[in-house]
């Protein structure tokens, strides 16, 4: 099955392909040598190689690198000419921002003011206001500072002189300082929040300190006399109660009853805190029966989620019917509504599930499983269009993007892609998808198919790279091949160079410590960071780690996949909290939204891959219908 799918793609894509000759290969080698030469300061060699490249499509990048070396010495006339030279390329704005920022750093404020163009770049905005201030327009500059200052994170260093001038002029009030303190605590920017305490007047500094204390040590909320009964104090109380509830929801609810009788909270505050406390109680497995004047959609979802695990389907139907239609008509609640009706003997549930089973979604696959029907893939394929292929390949942006990818410059290739896509004719977007597949740029092809709303183009959206490596390690670990593909697609879309903000690396996004521990268990040399970027190494260790999790959780893919994402420690806690319940209900109880979505996406992706690979698997197998029982 697999070779036929990809043979079709390769044959269809080659209409109008670039001719790859020895000349283009030599140009690529010369380009890479030229980049290395300028990076190492060998200018004579760089200029010789540049001239030898003739009209090579990536020559503008060499000119940019050369201009960047002498950016501080470029006058306005030269900078303007270079910007015009790079018009309609992503280099233009990149160069201009770099040159303009250099003017500010060199103290050329008049020049900066003359050429500044408004943007969302905070550093550039700070430089602009500093230029206004230096130009004598102090009142105008200072009037715009508070918006830049009132954020929940530290701003760039170039903003500091501007902030200092604004603070010295008396720009900070208790209200402004409190607003930023609130934003900082909501973002958990604790260092920034502590710094902000110095800006409060004596009348507010005490409650500001209490606000900070209850964030870093939520248990201090038990001191009911710590807070003032004013808007600041009541806000600090609500914040502290919700922080405390994340660990001790029952105690937080008890504390709330005491606070409510002593402090004068507004009605909307009562509604807000009680709803959120109910959410936290439910997450810890407590059955809640609220007595609120009205139910928000969020609380109705909590109540409905609760009944999925208790199997109280009469109440589940009641809560779903009470939801706004925007919630009620989502695939999730259509599935649970149909399932609940069937359990209650209402055959109308079959109609609900049969309709849902026509959708290629996690809940559509669950509905098909429940109704014992064939899951819908709704797959389509693109027909190659030679005229569109030629038109696409003639675009300078496409030529630059593909050459940058060919020479291994993925960062600039992505810049070219982003610049290209938004201005691309709609009729050429499907052709771009196929061209990206031809290049082997699978992650970008998947992104492009989604952006172009080609959701049924499954051969592209569910690629099968590194097939021999995946096959080998699926066999070696007894992990179903579709599972490895689905996880890798969800983790990195098969990008070997992917590095997450937390440091996970490679195709299967392994954390270095996890990879080293896994290598030790299978008696292999622990990989270094570079080795983890090698698909052969990464996929092998990822497969073995997943096999370890599958063994630990009785071959339940949903639970093992949750552990792959959130870690086994968390998953063990969730299993103790909701032990032995239906797997589909357990997934709904996962407290972390990221992990909950991850599990659903992987299970759905696994089913799609199983169909594409000719190895059909149900979205959940018979032995996976219940999660393992795990108790202290």
Task: Determine which of 17-26, 303-312, 407-416 has the lowest per-residue pLDDT on average.
Answer: 17-26
This prediction's pTM: 0.87
Taking only the tens place, the pLDDT of each residue in 168-217 is 999 999 999 999 999 999 999 999 999 999 999 999 999 999 999 999 99
- Please report the pLDDT score of residue 2 as a whole number: 45
Burial class (CB in 10 A: 0-12, 13-18, 19+), 594: exposed
Residue 7 has pLDDT above 60, yes or no: no
Mean pLDDT of 429-444: 94
For residues 9 and 434, the answer to whether their CB atoms sit within 8 Å is yes
CA distance 613 to 605: 12
CA distances from 381 to 455, 460, 467, 611 (A): 11, 9, 21, 15
Percentage of the chain surpassing pLDDT 70? Answer: 95
Domain 467-624 matching CATH 1.25.40.80: the answer reads no
Mean pLDDT of 311-336: 95
Residue 620 has pLDDT above 80, yes or no: yes
Taking only the tens place, the pLDDT of each residue in 493-523 is 999 999 999 999 999 999 999 999 999 999 9
- Please report the pLDDT score of residue 3 as a whole number: 42
CA distance 302 to 155: 37
Taking only the tens place, the pLDDT of each residue in 83-118 is 999 999 999 999 999 999 999 999 999 999 999 999
> From the CB of residue 301, how many other CB atoms can be counted at a distance below 10 Å?
21
- Please report the pLDDT score of residue 317 as a whole number: 95
pLDDT band at 314 (very low <50, low <70, confident <90, very high): very high
Percentage of the chain surpassing pLDDT 90? Answer: 87
CA distances from 290 to 101, 570, 619 (A): 56, 28, 35
- Please report the pLDDT score of residue 8 as a whole number: 43
Taking only the tens place, the pLDDT of each residue in 476-488 is 999 999 999 999 9
Token pair for residue 609?
Answer: 């891959």
Taking only the tens place, the pLDDT of each residue in 522-559 is 999 999 999 999 999 999 999 999 999 999 999 999 99
Summary mean pLDDT of the chain: 93
For the 297-357 domain, the top CATH level (class) is: mainly alpha
- Please report the pLDDT score of residue 291 as a whole number: 64
- The domain limits of the chain are 22-108, 172-283, 297-357, 467-624
Residue 290 has pLDDT above 70, yes or no: no
pLDDT band at 292 (very low <50, low <70, confident <90, very high): low
Handedness of CA 602, 603, 608, 614 (dihedral sign): positive
Handedness of CA 487, 490, 491, 494 (dihedral sign): positive
């Amino acid at each position: 099955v697999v070779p036929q799918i990809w043979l079709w793609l390769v044959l269809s894509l080659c209409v109008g392909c670039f001719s790859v000759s020895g000349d283009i290969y030599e140009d690529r080698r010369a380009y890479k040598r030229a980049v290395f030469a300028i990076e190492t300061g060998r200018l004579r060699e760089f200029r010789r190689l540049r001239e030898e490249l003739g009209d090579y499509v990536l020559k503008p990048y060499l000119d940019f690198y050369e201009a960047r070396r002498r950016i501080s010495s470029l006058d306005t006339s030269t900078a303007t000419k270079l910007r015009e030279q790079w018009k309609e390329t992503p280099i233009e704005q990149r160069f201009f921002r770099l040159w303009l920022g250099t003017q500010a750093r060199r103290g050329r404020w008049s020049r900066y003011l003359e050429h500044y163009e408004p943007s969302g770049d905070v550093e550039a905005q700070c430089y602009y206001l500093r230029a206004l201030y230096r130009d004598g327009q102090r009142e105008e500059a200072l009037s715009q500072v508070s918006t830049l200052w009132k954020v929940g994170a530290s701003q760039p260093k170039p903003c500091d002189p501007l902030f200092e001038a604004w603070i010295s002029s008396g720009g900070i009030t208790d209200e402004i300082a409190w607003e930023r303190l609130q934003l900082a605590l909501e973002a958990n920017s604790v260092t920034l929040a502590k710094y902000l305490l110095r800006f409060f007047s004596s009348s507010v500094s005490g409650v500001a300190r209490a606000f900070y204390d209850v964030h870093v040590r939520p248990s201090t909320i038990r001191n009911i006399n710590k807070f003032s009964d004013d808007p600041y104090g009541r806000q600090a109380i609500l914040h502290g109660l919700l922080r405390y509830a994340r660990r001790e929801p029952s105690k937080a609810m008890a504390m709330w009853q005491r606070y409510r009788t002593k402090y004068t909270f507004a009605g909307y505050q009562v509604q807000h805190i009680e709803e959120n406390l109910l959410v936290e109680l439910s997450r810890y497995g407590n059955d809640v029966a609220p007595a609120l004047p009205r139910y928000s959609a969020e609380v109705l979802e909590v109540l409905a989620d609760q009944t999925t695990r208790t199997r109280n389907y009469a109440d589940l139907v009641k809560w779903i019917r009470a939801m706004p239609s925007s919630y009620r008509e989502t695939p999730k609640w259509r599935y649970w509504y149909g399932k609940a009706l069937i359990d209650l003997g209402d055959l109308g549930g079959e109609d609900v599930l049969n309709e849902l089973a026509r959708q290629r979604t996690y809940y559509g696959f669950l509905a098909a499983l429940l109704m014992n029907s064939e899951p819908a893939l709704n797959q389509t394929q693109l027909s190659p269009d030679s005229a569109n292929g030629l038109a696409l390949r003639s675009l300078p942006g496409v030529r630059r993007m593909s050459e940058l990818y060919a020479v291994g410059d993925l960062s600039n290739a992505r810049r070219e892609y982003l610049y290209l896509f938004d201005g691309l004719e709609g009729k050429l977007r499907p052709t771009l998808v196929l061209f990206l597949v031809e290049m082997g740029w699978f992650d970008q092809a998947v992104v492009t198919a989604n952006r172009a709303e080609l959701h049924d183009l499954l051969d592209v959206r569910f690629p099968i790279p590194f097939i021999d490596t995946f096959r080998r390690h699926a066999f070696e670990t007894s992990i179903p091949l579709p599972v490895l593909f689905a996880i890798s697609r969800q983790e990195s879309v098969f990008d070997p160079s992917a590095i997450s903000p937390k440091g996970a690396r490679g195709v299967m996004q392994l954390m270095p410590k996890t990879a080293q521990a896994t290598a030790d268990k299978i008696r292999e040399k622990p990989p270094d960071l570079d080795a983890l970027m090698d698909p052969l190494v990464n996929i092998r260790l990822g497969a073995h780690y997943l096999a370890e999790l599958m063994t630990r959780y009785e071959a339940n893919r949903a639970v093992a996949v949750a552990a792959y994402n959130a870690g086994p420690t968390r998953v063990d806690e969730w299993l103790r909290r909701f032990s032995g319940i239906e797997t589909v209900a357990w997934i709904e109880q996962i407290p972390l939204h990221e992990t909950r979505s991850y599990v659903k996406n992987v299970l759905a992706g696994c089913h799609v891959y199983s169909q594409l690979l000719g190895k059909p698997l149900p979205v959940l197998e018979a032995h996976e219908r219940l999660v393992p029982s795990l108790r202290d």
